A and B are shown apart, each in its own frame.
Chain A
């Protein structure tokens, strides 16, 4: 084929420019670490990366929600464990009070102690979380749930669960219902104090001791449930952590370059560019004119 001068020069320059383009692309991959610069470079990869990013973003939020729930349950756990200690003391008092050998003075002293336990119970029943929310008020968490009106305890909260989103279509309850547990315990303490005041040793032994023990058991059973939920949350979080790690790995496989491979590609592109330059510079030098002048 006859080669015209212009097409010879065009071939050199387009060879150089395409080799340069390839080298520049390879260079960009090495320096940015990004494999995808435009969606069209890998349409399938782009959509999978977007949907994996969506999943990862969800997982990150679920982790935050679980963290919130853990905090909330943590506060509740502290309050419940104090209530448990308190009820244990009340039960202990009732065991001692059931003893015939004690005199009325000792029972009066016990009544005072039981009253202070009752007051403490009231204050614990109105425990607040980090945002000032009442822990045992259910969803009416901005209203102080337990107040004394006319000598009786009244409850202004509800027993609705506080759900947190732990996954698509998965919700965990981050609340421990205060009712009927706390109201009952308070009423039983009330009755116990009344019995102490009335010096009803037999009633204490027959009724109150058992009731207080029952309340203590209920509190402890709630604590057990709470512990199980915290454990459950930890399991969820570990699972989320693994899921996030796996998604991050797969996203980076799509979006990022394998550096050693990218560097090899870059070196190859550089060699091709040098070859194009060499060929062109030697081709440019060849002309009939050089031979005619001599």
Chain B
């Protein structure tokens, strides 16, 4: 025989259920803007019925309860988003650095190295064509200074970006360690919370966020276990497993794109970390090309200039500072003699005032194929360097655009599944409110009949 208060019990569980449902709806609405939040869906279930006898055994419903609060989510999409994040992180970094490289090369314009080369060759042409004009020697000196300064500065600015990439690697590794520690910590909390059978939805969301950020930094893979914990690997390197967080290696090599510690070296195949490695290697390549340019200018110009007799009679004068081995672009400058006095510049080999033959030969270097530059002329070599940078940057930007689109599409799918819709939540809010009101009404009816029953006896 059911209790006389059966109805009151039934109505009060319904009230409690709808109150929780309203709160969960409120939680969803409150987190409409929370990154990584998965909306929570309420799973209502009818309570097990009570059996009673009237004239025969009958089943009496016991009302409603909340069977579970589910985190709406698609594991497969999350996995795809992680690998998309790695590609996006890599290209964002790489394309960003290449754009910085481009920004310090004002080409085509009158302010770049290409123009400085033109002016320098022109100055020799002018000196050769008018060797008695002292102004032409000054012009050679000035354009030589401008050329060497631009080459040096460009090299140093590239070095600045390269240093940034190195600092970026250090910062990324430190951030990876933080995230790895965070995931191990969340693993513990999730494991504890899951012991009672509950689903710690908000902790899971936070761990997913950490995993996503980690996958932007490097191409990590995650594996979920029965107990709710995840293990994280970076190719052959374990970052988090059942025993907790590991130490992220701090030794790295951009050329081989590896991290290493006492136990071995590990490849990095994606993420911001790989982007930084690639940026560093690419920029180093550009610096090497500037070194080659500077060294070729030294060899070609000094070799001829040393055969000449300067305006002041000096002989065997180097035009550019040079050393063995050659030092590249970093200290590319005019020789002290030429930088301090343009009279140390030679226009000819005879020492006669009107002899501009040597200067004309130096001017003709403009068109001369340099074996050290793979048979290109000096200007052409620089043009190809710029063309190479432009193509590399354009390609990286376009690849970044593609990766962005892929990630956005996955995000849209994920958001479509787990994102909060305020309209939907509003509708739920009204629905649960009405249900709550109905349950309250039922309670007052049950209360009324209980009262009537008690009054009947009096």
Q: Flag whether A38 is at the interface (Cβ < 8 A).
A: yes
Whether the pair A139, B353 counts as a contact (CB closer than 8 A) is yes
Whether the pair B415, A65 counts as a contact (CB closer than 8 A) is no
Whether the pair B352, A60 counts as a contact (CB closer than 8 A) is no
Whether the pair A3, B129 counts as a contact (CB closer than 8 A) is no
Q: Most chain-B Cβ atoms within 10 A of its Cβ — which of A65, A69, A143, A289?
A: A65
Q: Closest CB of chain A to B181's CB: distance in Å?
A: 29
Among residues 53 to 69 in chain A, which have CB atoms less than 8 Å away from a CB atom of chain B?
A: 53-54, 57-58, 60-62, 64-65, 68-69
Q: Closest CB of chain B to A231's CB: distance in Å?
A: 19
- Provide the bound-state CA to CA distance between A141 and B128, in Å: 14
Q: Flag whether A148 is at the interface (Cβ < 8 A).
A: no
Whether the pair B119, A57 counts as a contact (CB closer than 8 A) is yes
A-side interface size class: 35 or more
- Provide the bound-state CA to CA distance between A61 and B364, in Å: 13
Whether the pair B32, A58 counts as a contact (CB closer than 8 A) is no
- Provide the bound-state CA to CA distance between A250 and B94, in Å: 33
Fill in one digit per residue for B358-375: 1 if any A CB lies within 8 Å of its CB, else 0: 001001101100000000
Among residues 390 to 414 in chain B, which have CB atoms less than 8 Å away from a CB atom of chain A?
A: 390-391, 393-394, 397, 411-412
- In this complex, what residue of B is CB-closest to A164? B129
Whether the pair A4, B415 counts as a contact (CB closer than 8 A) is yes
Complex contacts, B418 vs chain A, CB 8 Å? 4
Whether the pair A141, B354 counts as a contact (CB closer than 8 A) is yes
- In this complex, what residue of B is CB-closest to A291? B426
Partner of B132, one of A61, A131, A289: A131
Fill in one digit per residue for A104-123: 1 if any B CB lies within 8 Å of its CB, else 0: 00000000000000000000
Q: Flag whether A260 is at the interface (Cβ < 8 A).
A: no
Whether the pair B420, A47 counts as a contact (CB closer than 8 A) is no
Complex contacts, B114 vs chain A, CB 8 Å? 50, 53-54
Complex contacts, A162 vs chain B, CB 8 Å? 354, 356
Whether the pair A40, B430 counts as a contact (CB closer than 8 A) is no
Q: Which of A165-173, A220-228, A236-244, A271-279 contacts B (4 or more CB under 8 A)?
A: A165-173
Whether the pair A142, B420 counts as a contact (CB closer than 8 A) is no
- Provide the bound-state CA to CA distance between A7 and B418, in Å: 11
Fill in one digit per residue for B275-318: 1 if any A CB lies within 8 Å of its CB, else 0: 00000000000000000000000000000000000000000000
Partner of B426, one of A160, A174, A288: A288
Among residues 203 to 227 in chain A, which have CB atoms less than 8 Å away from a CB atom of chain B?
A: none
Partner of A38, one of B103, B122, B419, B426: B103
Whether the pair B129, A68 counts as a contact (CB closer than 8 A) is yes
Whether the pair A288, B423 counts as a contact (CB closer than 8 A) is yes
Among residues 136 to 181 in chain B, which have CB atoms less than 8 Å away from a CB atom of chain A?
A: none
Whether the pair A58, B118 counts as a contact (CB closer than 8 A) is yes
Complex contacts, A1 vs chain B, CB 8 Å? 416
Q: Closest CB of chain A to B28's CB: distance in Å?
A: 10
Whether the pair B99, A40 counts as a contact (CB closer than 8 A) is yes
Whether the pair A133, B102 counts as a contact (CB closer than 8 A) is no
Partner of A50, one of B107, B360, B397, B415: B107
- Provide the bound-state CA to CA distance between A174 and B107, in Å: 36
Whether the pair B384, A163 counts as a contact (CB closer than 8 A) is no
Q: Closest CB of chain B to A59's CB: distance in Å?
A: 10
Whether the pair A288, B419 counts as a contact (CB closer than 8 A) is no
- In this complex, what residue of B is CB-closest to A4? B419
Among residues 9 to 39 in chain A, which have CB atoms less than 8 Å away from a CB atom of chain B?
A: 10, 36, 38-39
Whether the pair B356, A53 counts as a contact (CB closer than 8 A) is no
Tell me whether A139 and B348 are in contact in the complex, defined as CB-CB below 8 angstroms, given that A36-B108, A164-B130 are known contacts: yes
Complex contacts, A158 vs chain B, CB 8 Å? 352
Q: Flag whether A294 is at the interface (Cβ < 8 A).
A: no
Complex contacts, A165 vs chain B, CB 8 Å? 125, 128-129, 360, 363-364
- Provide the bound-state CA to CA distance between A131 and B132, in Å: 7
Complex contacts, B126 vs chain A, CB 8 Å? 61, 64-65, 68
Among residues 414 to 438 in chain B, which have CB atoms less than 8 Å away from a CB atom of chain A?
A: 415-424, 426-427, 430
Q: Flag whether B42 is at the interface (Cβ < 8 A).
A: no
Q: Flag whether B121 is at the interface (Cβ < 8 A).
A: yes
Q: Closest CB of chain A to B73's CB: distance in Å?
A: 13
Partner of B390, one of A40, A60, A141: A40
- Provide the bound-state CA to CA distance between A291 and B104, in Å: 56
- Provide the bound-state CA to CA distance between A289 and B393, in Å: 48
Q: Flag whether A255 is at the interface (Cβ < 8 A).
A: yes
Partner of B98, one of A40, A143, A254: A40
Tell me whether A2 and B352 are in contact in the complex, defined as CB-CB below 8 angstroms, given that A53-B115, A58-B366, A171-B360 are known contacts: no
- Provide the bound-state CA to CA distance between A162 and B131, in Å: 9
Whether the pair B430, A60 counts as a contact (CB closer than 8 A) is no
- Provide the bound-state CA to CA distance between A49 and B416, in Å: 48
Q: Closest CB of chain B to A288's CB: distance in Å?
A: 4
Complex contacts, A57 vs chain B, CB 8 Å? 115, 118-119, 122
Complex contacts, B14 vs chain A, CB 8 Å? none
Q: Closest CB of chain A to B227's CB: distance in Å?
A: 30
Partner of B102, one of A39, A65, A137: A39
Tell me whether A47 and B387 are in contact in the complex, defined as CB-CB below 8 angstroms, given that A61-B126, A140-B352, A160-B352 are known contacts: yes
Partner of B393, one of A7, A40, A53, A140: A40
- Provide the bound-state CA to CA distance between A140 and B352, in Å: 5
Whether the pair B366, A40 counts as a contact (CB closer than 8 A) is no
Q: Please name 17 further chain A to chain B contacts, defined as beta carbons within 8 Å, in addition to the given A5-B423, A42-B390, sorted by A numbering.
A: A5-B419, A38-B102, A38-B103, A43-B390, A46-B387, A47-B384, A53-B118, A57-B119, A60-B122, A141-B353, A142-B354, A143-B353, A160-B352, A163-B128, A163-B356, A164-B129, A165-B363
What are 18 A-B residue pairs whose CB atoms fall within 8 Å in the complex? A4-B419, A5-B423, A39-B107, A39-B389, A40-B99, A40-B390, A40-B391, A50-B108, A50-B386, A53-B118, A54-B379, A57-B119, A58-B125, A61-B126, A133-B132, A165-B125, A251-B108, A255-B108
Question: Top 3 closest A-B pairs, CB basis?
Answer: A4-B419, A142-B353, A39-B390
